[in-house]
Amino acid sequence: MKKALMASILLLFTNIVFAEEAVDDTIRTEAQTNSTVTTQSTSETTLNSPPPSAILPTMNNANSDLCTVGVAGTIQTQILGLSAGKTLRDLNCERLKNAKTLYDMGMKVAAVSVMCQDERIFDAMMNAGTPCPYDGMIGDAAKAAWVANEELQPGQEEGFTDGTKTLFGGAGVASILLLLLL
């Protein structure tokens, strides 16, 4: 039964093909060409050098145990290119590492004293009623010494403030850019 069903399905999907004689309807032409080509050329090559480029120096900050930050910059004009780089010390990072080392060595008062060099921590300690150590004194004696010597408190340094340094740095960069534009 299965064989008969298969045979009938095959017969339904097959086409009957008959062979016919081929008729040659191709159009043929024959041609012959003789030609001579003479070429003469002159060429000139001009090599232009690439434009100058100021390459930024690399700063390696791979070691996370260093308290430095890399800063680099570059500027390029059609004639002159400048690039510079520098590493800057992160003083807060150094302060934290020094305080941790002192604390790990059992010198807790010295560790607090190192942290109190930051104006924010100094103010927080005074507001909390636990003043920073002063010349070996702690507690109320240290508070009285800090009140008597306010000029020694952190944040009372003389010299350039951060705003003044930024102003001078910005003026320096602007004058360099102005020189390059001339």
Q: What is the pLDDT of residues 4-34, one digit of tens each?
A: 666 666 555 555 555 455 556 666 777 788 8
The predicted pLDDT at position 29 comes to: 72
Specify the pLDDT at position 42. 85
The DSSP 8-state label assigned to residue 96 in this structure reads H
The dihedral formed by the CA atoms of 182, 79, 76 and 50, expressed in degrees to the nearest 10:
160
Helix H or strand E encompassing 72: strand 68-76
Sign of the torsion formed by the C-alpha atoms of 154, 158, 159 and 164: positive
Residue 139: how many CA atoms within 13 Å on its side-chain side? 1
Residue boundaries of the structural domains of the chain? 91-182
Q: What is the value of pTM for the model shown?
A: 0.51
Tens-place pLDDT, residues 138-171: 899 999 999 999 888 887 655 556 667 777 777 8
